[in-house]
Structure 1
Amino acid sequence: MLGENHALIYEFPDFADHIRHLKKNNTIFATMAQRYHELDHKIRALELTKVPTDDEHFVALKLERLHLKDKLYQYLVHDAI
């Protein structure tokens, strides 16, 4: 769906409290989460405003967001143990 919010708390609702904790207490996680948020915001803005962007650029943004999401999930799972 175009313009869908992929915020971490929506993507991983079971980890919402843990996400907030790591953002406050883990600078690496916080930095990656901030970049993820920036990418998600940029992607949604492009989708909603239908601003022309070349497919390569758009795909690159989405791939970076996906890779960050995977890394953040690994942090959540491993840190929760």
Structure 2
Amino acid sequence: MFPEYRDLITQIKGHDHHFTRLFDKHNALDQEIKNKEAHIEPGTQLEIERLKKEKLAIKDQIYQHLKQVSANA
């Protein structure tokens, strides 16, 4: 995710609690979606779509946060 910000992500992950929480939530949702799509966990198509929308919203927040931190650096 966001290869152009890889170094910045490494720098702020663990130091910026808001960013770390967003990043971890995104990864958890990604895994949950994969598990439901692979039928490892139960889930309806509607639930999977809802999770994907939530994951995308968090990804947008992560991107905005990265842009802000990058601009202030």
The TM-score, its normalising length taken from structure 2, stands at 0.84
Q: Output one character per residue of 1:2-50: Cα deviation in whole Å (capped at 9) or x when no partner.
A: xxxxxxxxx2011111112221210000011111010011112222347
For structure 2, which runs of at least 5 residues remain unmatched after alignment?
A: none
Residue 15 of structure 1 pairs with residue 8 of structure 2: no
What is the CA-CA distance between 1:51 and the residue it aligns to? 5.4
| Cα distance in 1, alignment partners of residues 35 and 45 from structure 2 | 15
What is the one-letter code of the residue matched to 2:37?
E
Question: Partners in 2 of 1:56 and 1:48 — Cα distance?
Answer: 15
TM-aligned CA deviation for residue 53 of structure 1: 2.1
RMSD: 1.6
2:45 and 2:37 map into 1 onto residues whose CA distance is 12
- Give the whole-Å Cα distance in 1 for the aligned partners of 2:47 and 2:37: 13
Structure 1: 5+ residue runs without aligned partners?
Answer: 1-10
TM-score w.r.t. length of structure 1: 0.77
